[in-house]
Amino acid sequence: MHPTQGHPQPRPHATTLLRDVWNEMISTGLFEVSAGERFVEHMIERIERRA
């Protein structure tokens, strides 16, 4: 969103941290390859494009 709309600008490293956390969760076996995983990946990509 535009800064004048009162929303803080996203921090560039925030999505990197989110992706790192997500990859850690996958590596523990907590999540299997599924539609849910693809959904989360899609959401992370959308956040990265906005950042």
Residue 1 CA, chain-centre distance (Å), reads 17
Query: Does any domain span residue 1?
Result: no
Q: What is the pLDDT along the chain (51 residues), one digit of tens a residue?
A: 445 556 555 555 677 888 888 888 878 876 666 767 788 888 888 888 886
| Rounded Cα distance, 20 and 26, in Å | 10
Judge whether 4 lies within some domain: no
Domain-located, residue 14: yes
Tell which residue, 6, 7, 22, has the closest CA to residue 50.
7
- Residue-level pLDDT at 10: 54
Q: In the prediction, which pLDDT does 16 show?
A: 83
Tell me, yes or no, whether 40 lies in a domain.
yes
* Residue 42 covered by a domain: yes
How many independent structural domains does the chain possess? 1
> Does the predicted model carry a pTM greater than 0.85?
no
Residue 15, domain extent: 9-50
The reply to whether 21 falls in a domain is yes
